[in-house]
A and B are shown apart, each in its own frame.
Chain A
Amino acid sequence: MPEAAAHYEPVIGLEIHVQLATKTKMFCSCALSFGEDPNTRTCPVCLGLPGTLPVVNAEAVHYALMVGLALDCEIAPRSIFHRKNYFYPDLPKGYQVSQYDIPICGPGRLGDIRIHRAHLEEDAAKLVHAGESGRIHSADSSVVDFNRGGTPLVEIVTEPDVRSAAQASDWLRLLRVTLRQLGVSDVNMEEGSLRCDANVSIRPQGSTELGTKTELKNMNSFRFLERGIEAEIARQESIVSEGGQVTQETLHFDPRTGSISSLRSKEEAHDYRYFPEPDLVALAPTEEMVDRARAALPELPAARAARLEGDLGLHPDDARLLAFRTELGDLFESTLAADGSHPRGVANWVTGELLSRLGEREPAQTALEPAALARLVAMVEDGDVSGSAAKEVLGVLVEDGGDPEAIVEQRGLAKAGGDELEAIVEQAMADNADAVEKIRGGNPKAIGAIVGAVMKATKGTADGGEVQRLVRERIES
């Protein structure tokens, strides 16, 4: 509905749950589970047995601080855990230990989106519904697997700054590569280590107040996130443009049908009865803890893109691509380390020809040496080898490695030029007298036949522009 879209502005906020890649769970010493058999990664604590108590995983706090710093969040001098109470079979204690009014990370920003907060909590267990388990159950029974229960999570909540489905998935990509760069999570959406919910509302263009929002749950890929939000925006626009009212509810997007359905809520009344978790003491990150987290931060994609664009004058798209494809960016920078005189040229070759030759591979999985790439680009820039020849050389460097000059020698790819080229041009004109006539008759296109013959004779090492110049010289004289 482009027509409606003109009248309404979508207002979108994202809630992202990130499973931390610690060795153990948030509050007990069970190793995290990677598809082990159900209920083989549990202990009295994560089964919620009577009398057990939680103890906070120091590494989870360290990771949360890294995330907070990477998102420019204010780190709370003192934060506490709360109990979020509701009954569900995947919640062994009848409450989730989470953070409520004082999260460890306060307001921050990533790219063009403001962060509202980021807090620590424990993941729920998994309900394997009848059938899914692959074994026979009575149709209406499920089996609870507590392996995932208690996995450390950082929940990141944005301000409602997102204005389109595309912006949402772009930004989530930035968050994902940032978290991967931090090394705090596998950030795999399909496997659920990165889960995204979206709060969607629309309002008349120009209006500043917020409309009623709905919550879209767990879209487990960037495509689904985009399609889900698009579908929900469309749904709300049609409701409103027909004079209806959007009702606040939790929705599920079905990627197969593209349809949106209402979810039954866990606690009919959303009365979670939050109160301070009396089994835990306050988290008060010391200067030393925060410094340790800051010291552990690598250069983050947003910063790298800015540097490549600002300091090296790269095109914004190249800079972003090199920053987000970390390995590509690293190759780019080590190539410049070998010879820093042609940053733009190296960027073009890396993000263009090389990227397409890599396919699924990362540079490290090929024979390409940064120094060799640096020499090749220099040869192109100095006009010692033509573009098409350089592509052939790059192909060899990627598959077999080696020294660009040597490869050019062996394959006779050096750019033809001087008297030799003039002779070849004159021969080609003689062989294509009819073409020469056509040009004289006012049909410049005919020059193609002559250039083609020259290229054939020089195996493509001749410079097309140079050849055309020589041909015209001779016709006009």
Chain B
Amino acid sequence: MIDREQVLYVARLARLRLTDEEVERMTGELSTILEHIETIGTVDLEDVEPTSHVVELENVLRPDEPRPSLPRDRALEQAPDSDETGFRVPSPSAGQ
């Protein structure tokens, strides 16, 4: 179960602006989905190790050797807003 307040909190964490209609729908949909997910609770998981990865590799390391970086115009090419030196954004301090 998840309530409207939690939906709004999570949406803020995820930087998603939801319309009131979306918040309503999400609250219902997520509750149904989470209800199913909670069937996990029926499994006995006492001292079972979590698996975050199926690969058994360890210590995959890269030699400390420089490779050419992108030319700046290439790096900035896809930016929605930039000046000749970098990516432009509203100042975090401003507004907010």
Contact = CB atoms under 8 A, between A and B. Distances in A.
Asked if the two chains touch in their complex, CB atoms less than 8 Å apart, one says: yes
Interface of A: 22-24, 29-31, 37-44, 47, 55-61, 78, 80, 87-89, 127-130, 133, 135, 137, 139-146, 264, 267-269, 271, 273, 275-276, 278, 280-286, 289
Given A23-B65, A57-B62, A141-B91, A37 B85 contact: yes
Given A38-B72, A42-B69, A285-B59, 4 more contacts: A43-B67, A47-B75, A141-B88, A283-B59
Interface residues of B, number: 38
A29 B67 contact: yes
Interface of B: 9, 12-13, 15, 52-53, 55, 57-67, 69-72, 75-76, 82-83, 85-96
B72 A40 contact: yes
Contacts of A289: 59
A281 B15 contact: no
Contacts of B66: 23-24, 29-31
Contact of A37 (B52, B72, B91, B92): B72
A39 B92 contact: no
A29 B70 CA distance: 11
A15 B15 CA distance: 29
Contacts of B58: 78, 281-284
Nearest to B94: A140
Contacts of A41: 69
A278 B92 contact: no
A461 to B, nearest CB: 60
Contacts of A40: 69, 71-72
Q: Which 10 A-B pairs have the closest CB atoms?
A: A140-B94, A59-B64, A58-B61, A29-B67, A143-B86, A276-B52, A31-B66, A55-B62, A281-B57, A144-B87
A58 B72 contact: no
Contacts of A269: 9, 12-13
Given A276-B52, A276-B53, A61 B61 contact: yes
